[in-house]
Amino acid sequence: MPEDKSIQELGLDEYKYGFSDPEEYFFKTPRKGIDPEIVAMISKHKNEPEWMLEYRLKALESFLERPTPQWGGDLSELDFDEIYYYIRPMENQGRSWDDVPDDIKNTFEKLGIPQAERESLAGVGAQYESEVVYHSLKEEWDKAGVVFMDMDSGLREHEDLVREYFGTIIPADDNKFSALNSAVWSGGSFVYVPPGVHIDIPLQAYFRINAENMGQFERTLIIADEGSYVHYIEGCTAPTYTTNSLHSAVVELIAKPNARIRYSTIQNWSHNTYNLVTKRAVAEENATVEWVDGNLGSKLTMKYPAVYLTGEGARGEILSVAYAGDGQHQDAGGKVVHAAPNTSSLITSKSISKGTGRSTYRGLLKVHEGAVGSKSRVECDALLLDENARTDTYPYIEIEEKKVNTEHEATVSKVGEDQLFYLMSRGLSEEAAMAMVVNGFIEPIAKELPLEYAIELNRLIQLEMEGSVG
């Protein structure tokens, strides 16, 4: 981004956060790479409390100490010194649809989301280069005491609440990438739903990366208090660049007794992005957490949404769909840990590999001693569209309790020639028939998404499949 624009041109005089130092409104780390100085700069720029700076610095140590994982995807080309760890965008936070940047609107356009529906996308928070540029909270949520804001604002306005829960589900030193995120996090969403409040309309946020070599490290924390309900939707679109970028988010969900959280994601990163995300939820007594996770794009995705069932009667559900095209590796899956009696879980994974794409299901199902009456089912289906495509399934199943019932099943198949023949004999082109079969394959996941996201997912897959038959 140009560094010589005036504050007026950037519209920063309207900037609502009112940082103490206006010179700092527009800010990018002075150099690539990461060290304590860079981390301190980010923290200072955000005017954070001392404890957060300390948290970041400690996380940095852990990041630097930890080796790059040797399992999963190939991370050998990922160069941590070639990345800007913080850039603040030029836009300010929009308040209406008109303020949303054109590229985001164009994405809606491309995905064929009708205007009427775009209007109904009130409540969209769009993250633009590590910072939230658009938020519009519906009044009734305010009235109900629901908090939905970007994480930076959350830290300023609800410091005690953030401090109580931040990093409790995913400790900074959980893994190399959660440590990195904890050191340089910026943006993401903070959601708190008070006891008994049901939010019917999903909270939504759009993210994208559009500065070369820029890491994006959003941090999301969602707390659903007792008996509440919230559905949060995160979606990503990213234009393509020639050098690798890194997206490494941390998402923590806490479902208090009898609460329910549903977290839906459709991610479509550009094909040179490393998408390395840690997502974990805790479900207390009789609470339910559902992850609906769609992964397209990226060079390599490593993402295993987890649910820890810590209270009796808790339920976890993970629906994961992955599409790996040429040169892509989707290493995704899910983890469920049964740590209380009468808990139940379901993992459903669907993957499609095309061209030289590779999709991997990697999962853990663990039943701790004492989690009597746990029931769990894992289903993985993989569809291969080309002879060069590859699919793997690595489910770990660890059972320490006898009064349980766990099942795992996986199938791998190619698109049935008889299915294609049937559709083509009725006048569909091979390409259209193929797309129809694939859409049918992912339907169990798509039907769990709100309409516009289901449409988006289907369209994204159609865009990916264009010219796939030859």
Partner 1 sequence: MQQKEAPEVLKSKGITEETVKALSSFKDEPDWLAEKRLSAWRAFEALPMPSLRDEAWRYTDISDVRIEDFLPYAPSPDVSSEDELPEAVQRLIKEGEENSALLVQHNSETAYSRVDDEVGRKGVIFTDLHTALREHEEIVREKLFGLVPEDYDKFAALCAAGFAGGSFLYVPRGVDVEVPIQSYRWLDVVGSIMPRTLIVVEEGASVTYIDEYASASAEEPAFSNGAVELYVGEGAHLRYVSLQNWERNVLHFNTIRSEAGKDSTINSLVVALGSQLSRTNVEAGLTAPGSDSEMLGLYFADQNQVLDHHTLQDHISPNAHSDLLYKGALRDESIAVFSGLIRVEPGAQKTDAYQTNRNLILGTDDAFAVSLPNLEIMADDVKCSHGSTTGQVDDVELFYLMSRGIPRAEAEKLVVFGFFGEVTSRIPLKGLKEKLDRAIEGKIGLGFEERVA
Question: Which CB, 168 or 413, lies closer to partner 1?
Answer: 413
E-only strand ranges, 238-287: 245-247, 250-255, 260-269, 273-283
What does DSSP say about strands 147-150 and 189-193: parallel, antiparallel, or unpaired? antiparallel
Q: Give the one residue of 110, 212, 396, 421 binding partner 1; rule: CB under 8 A.
A: 396
Query: What is the Cα–Cα distance from 287 to 283, expressed in whole angstroms?
Result: 5
Query: What is the Cα–Cα distance from 252 to 291, expressed in whole angstroms?
Result: 12
- The distance of closest approach from Cβ of residue 406 to partner 1 in the complex, given in angstroms and rounded to an integer, is 5
Query: Is residue 33 a contact residue for partner 1 (CB under 8 A)?
Result: no
Query: Is residue 75 a contact residue for partner 1 (CB under 8 A)?
Result: no
Are 208 and 239 within 8 A, CB to CB? yes
Query: Is residue 67 a contact residue for partner 1 (CB under 8 A)?
Result: no
Question: Which CB, 175 or 406, lies closer to partner 1?
Answer: 406
Residue type, 432: A
Q: Give the one residue of 394, 428, 431, 432 binding partner 1; rule: CB under 8 A.
A: 394
Q: Give the one residue of 289, 347, 382, 461 binding partner 1; rule: CB under 8 A.
A: 382
Query: Is residue 411 a contact residue for partner 1 (CB under 8 A)?
Result: yes
Query: Is residue 68 a contact residue for partner 1 (CB under 8 A)?
Result: no
Q: Give the one residue of 22, 37, 414, 451 binding partner 1; rule: CB under 8 A.
A: 414
Query: Is residue 64 a contact residue for partner 1 (CB under 8 A)?
Result: no
- The distance of closest approach from Cβ of residue 400 to partner 1 in the complex, given in angstroms and rounded to an integer, is 5
Question: Which CB, 397 or 455, lies closer to partner 1?
Answer: 397
Query: What is the Cα–Cα distance from 233 to 453, expressed in whole angstroms?
Result: 9
Query: What is the Cα–Cα distance from 378 to 345, expressed in whole angstroms?
Result: 8
Q: Give the one residue of 115, 168, 388, 429 binding partner 1; rule: CB under 8 A.
A: 388
Query: What is the Cα–Cα distance from 174 to 307, expressed in whole angstroms?
Result: 15
Question: Which CB, 133 or 438, lies closer to partner 1?
Answer: 438
Question: Which CB, 115 or 413, lies closer to partner 1?
Answer: 413
Query: What is the Cα–Cα distance from 26 to 18, expressed in whole angstroms?
Result: 12
Question: Which CB, 235 or 325, lies closer to partner 1?
Answer: 325
Binding region for partner 1 (CB under 8 A) out of 130-138, 160-168, 246-254, 377-385? 377-385
Question: Which CB, 226 or 392, lies closer to partner 1?
Answer: 392
How far, rounded to the nearest angstrom, does the alpha carbon of residue 272 sit from its chain's CA centroid?
Answer: 17
Question: Which CB, 156 or 390, lies closer to partner 1?
Answer: 390
- The distance of closest approach from Cβ of residue 297 to partner 1 in the complex, given in angstroms and rounded to an integer, is 22
- The distance of closest approach from Cβ of residue 404 to partner 1 in the complex, given in angstroms and rounded to an integer, is 6
Query: What is the Cα–Cα distance from 430 to 73, expressed in whole angstroms?
Result: 32
Query: Is residue 29 a contact residue for partner 1 (CB under 8 A)?
Result: no
Query: Is residue 395 a contact residue for partner 1 (CB under 8 A)?
Result: yes
The token pair at 329 is: 């590796």
The token pair at 146 is: 């629901």
Query: What is the Cα–Cα distance from 31 to 82, expressed in whole angstroms?
Result: 9
Are 302 and 280 within 8 A, CB to CB? no
Question: Which CB, 289 or 383, lies closer to partner 1?
Answer: 383
Query: Is residue 390 a contact residue for partner 1 (CB under 8 A)?
Result: yes
Query: Is residue 401 a contact residue for partner 1 (CB under 8 A)?
Result: yes
Greatest alpha-carbon pair distance for the chain in Å reads 69
Query: Is residue 438 a contact residue for partner 1 (CB under 8 A)?
Result: no
Q: Give the one residue of 287, 384, 435, 442 binding partner 1; rule: CB under 8 A.
A: 384
Query: Is residue 386 a contact residue for partner 1 (CB under 8 A)?
Result: yes
Query: What is the Cα–Cα distance from 166 to 159, expressed in whole angstroms?
Result: 10
Q: Taking the CA of residue 108 as centre, how many other CA atoms within 13 Å lie in the half-sphere pointing to its CB?
A: 20
Q: Give the one residue of 413, 421, 422, 451 binding partner 1; rule: CB under 8 A.
A: 413
Long-range contacts of 26-31 (CB under 8 A, 24+ apart): 26/88, 26/90, 27/86, 27/87, 27/88, 28/1, 28/3, 28/84, 28/86, 28/87, 28/88, 29/84, 29/85, 29/86, 29/87
**Token match 């030029």: residue?**
90
E-only strand ranges, 181-284: 189-193, 203-208, 219-224, 229-237, 245-247, 250-255, 260-269, 273-283
Query: Is residue 443 a contact residue for partner 1 (CB under 8 A)?
Result: no
Query: What is the Cα–Cα distance from 64 to 205, expressed in whole angstroms?
Result: 31
Query: What is the Cα–Cα distance from 354 to 383, expressed in whole angstroms?
Result: 9
Query: Is residue 469 a contact residue for partner 1 (CB under 8 A)?
Result: no
- The distance of closest approach from Cβ of residue 343 to partner 1 in the complex, given in angstroms and rounded to an integer, is 15
- The distance of closest approach from Cβ of residue 353 to partner 1 in the complex, given in angstroms and rounded to an integer, is 8
Q: Which residues bind partner 1 (CB under 8 A)?
A: 71, 369-370, 382, 384-414
